[in-house]
Amino acid sequence: MDETEFISMDELMAQAVQYYGIILNWLQTNLFSYESLAELAIVGVLFLISFAITRSLSPFVHKVLEGKTFYQKIEKFLKAMYLPVFWWVFVIIALQVAVSLNTPIIVLRMATSLIGVWIVISFVTVMIESETISRFIRIIAWSMAILNIFGLLNPFINFLSVTTFTFGATTISVLAIVTGVTSMVVLIWAALFLSSIIDTKLRDAPTVTPSARVLLSKLSRIILVVLAFLFAISSMGIDLTALAVFGGAIGVGLGFGLQKVVSNFISGVILLLDKSIKPGDVIEISGTYGRINKLAARYTSVISRDGREHLVPNEDIITQPVINWTFSDKKVRRELPVNVSYNSDIDKAMDLLLEAAAESERVIRNPEPRALIKGFGDNGIDLVLRMWIRDSENGVTNIASEVYLKIWHKFNEAGIEFPYPQRDIHIVSSKGFGDGTKLP
């Protein structure tokens, strides 16, 4: 049959009926007999025995080895392998016994193959965190194993290869589509897995800055995923040059419909390149004060002191004023204004300010706190306490409250007065006003 022609519905139905007849004939020949039912019963009993052993052994091993580092790394693999491995070993033993007794072994041999496939699939899919990808791989692998048992794998592959679809000047077979989709899923998973390894290595590298770490991690992930996608498309037999028009259409769509998304993405790249902010910095923007938790492609995650996580668009950080409390140095100076009465001992008051700052564990000694006279106000003398802290990510208002409380107690003990608003009131004599005008 010419590969460029469509297969009609009648031909498809004929192929399906033919495969159905082959499967039914195989079942009647190999399974619908007393010997085969006896083998199925043996396989079922061995499964129950394996299940019982697994239920008893898994908690015991976990209890004995739960504190071991190597066990914590392989625990999920062991839990996935207990049942199929025990079952597989028991079925192999039963198969060898059946061979030595010259009894039928068709079902036992088939069970051995299927359980072996189960072990391989379990080992591979347990490494994949995505449940969707794991389910897809399981379906493909089980389908191929079952077709192979019935002897239909090669005919089915040939059937898919001659079933074609034409898109313009390009002809694609169903087999190419299945191969391409499978390759895409596997390659994208491999790309994401490899990018996670690169991210881990970058995180452990002491010489790489946080901004460079995030930038390299994102670039590696994008490049690997794009390469995986292009390779999968190429494996389907699609000419990559045909994507040029499609790529141009996407570019136009991005230019008009996704301006904000693209703007935020480009802003995120700029933030990573210019190192103006990085994970761990304490920033303040538009009234939001907090620590940068994550630099994403579209937004920057800022966790405030009350535990709320603000997702600030990257464009806003580029275009709006941002206070970075830890940009070049994590030391931050706090100024606490204090007013004292004109009747107070100013030298004593300034010493008490320094004592209050020195008693706080968060106030650093270098640079040392300083107490200064800022001016003479209407109601009292304006003092200011300047102190430095290194952990602004733990808050800058709470340290001010702590030191103010210490100042309050010390001033009360030393008799230092806080001034009240004062106004002089002049009472005019009842004899008249200053200009000689008499009261009525």
Nearest to 54 by CA among 88, 95, 92: 88
Specify the range with the lowest mean pLDDT, choosing from 27-41, 60-74, 247-261, 364-378.
Answer: 247-261
Between the ranges 70-79, 188-197, 369-378, where is the mean pLDDT highest?
A: 369-378
Q: Which residue has the higher pLDDT, 211 or 58?
A: 58
* Cβ neighbours for 56, distance < 8 A, ≥ 6 positions apart: none
Which of 237-246, 307-316, 341-350, 388-397 ranks highest by mean pLDDT? Answer: 341-350
Q: 292 and 279 in contact (C-beta within 8 Å)? A: yes
Would the pLDDT of 6 be above 50?
A: no
Q: Which of 26-30, 138-142, 330-334 has the lowest mean pLDDT?
A: 26-30
Residue 187 corresponds to which amino acid?
A: L
Q: CB-based burial of residue 277 (10 Å sphere; 0-12 exposed, 13-18 middle, 19+ buried)?
A: buried
Q: What is the pLDDT of residue 243?
A: 59
For the ranges 116-125, 158-167, 233-242, the lowest mean pLDDT is seen at 233-242
Of 171-175, 369-373, 377-381, the range with the highest mean pLDDT is 369-373
CA dist 194 and 310 (Å) reads 30
C-alpha pair distances (Å), 278 with each of 15, 31, 281, 283, 290: 61, 66, 6, 10, 13
Q: What is the pLDDT of residue 4?
A: 39
Residue 201 confidence (pLDDT):
78
- Collapsed DSSP state (helix, strand, coil) of residue 415: coil
Please, which residues bridge with residue 337 across strands?
A: 384
pLDDT tens string 313-335: 888 888 888 888 777 777 788 88
pLDDT of residue 230: 77
Distance (Å, whole) CA 10 – CA 127:
43
* pTM over the 0.75 mark: no
Q: Where are the alpha helices (DSSP H) in 152-242?
A: 153-162, 174-204, 210-235
Read off the pLDDT of each residue in 16-38 and give the average, rounded to a whole number: 64
Beta strands 299-304 and 309-313, pairing class: antiparallel
**pLDDT at position 151, please?**
62
Distance CA 157, CA 169 (A): 24
Tell me the residue type at 198. Answer: I
Indicate whether 3 pLDDT > 50.
no
Give the model's confidence band at 34: pLDDT under 50 very low, under 70 low, under 90 confident, else very high: low
Which backbone phi and psi does 279 adopt, to 5 degrees? -55, 135
Range with top average pLDDT, 99-113, 118-132, 226-240, 252-266:
99-113
Give the residue with greater pLDDT, 297 vs 357: 357
Distance CA 363, CA 23 (A): 81
Distance (Å, whole) CA 285 – CA 291 = 11
Q: How far from 152 is each of 15, 129, 252, 321, CA to CA, in Å?
A: 12, 32, 48, 68
* Percentage of residues in the chain having pLDDT higher than 70: 72
- Residue 382: pLDDT above 80? yes
Most confident residue range from 2-16, 102-116, 374-388: 374-388
What one-character DSSP code corresponds to residue 6?
P
Mean pLDDT of the chain: 76
Token pair 């129950």: residue: 48
Structural domains for the chain: 9-183 (no CATH), 239-326 (2.30.30.60), 332-414 (3.30.70.100)
Distance between CA atoms of 51 and 85, rounded to whole angstroms?
Answer: 11
**What pLDDT is stored for residue 405 in this prediction?**
92
Question: Using one digit for the tens of pLDDT, what is the confidence trace for 63-112?
Answer: 777 777 766 667 777 777 788 888 888 888 888 888 887 776 777 777 88
- Give the burial class of 106: count Cβ atoms within 10 A of its Cβ; 0-12 exposed, 13-18 middle, 19 or more buried: middle
| Digit-coded pLDDT (tens) for 240-251 | 565 555 566 666
Question: Where does the pLDDT of residue 408 fall: very low under 50, low under 70, confident under 90, or very high at 90 and above?
Answer: very high
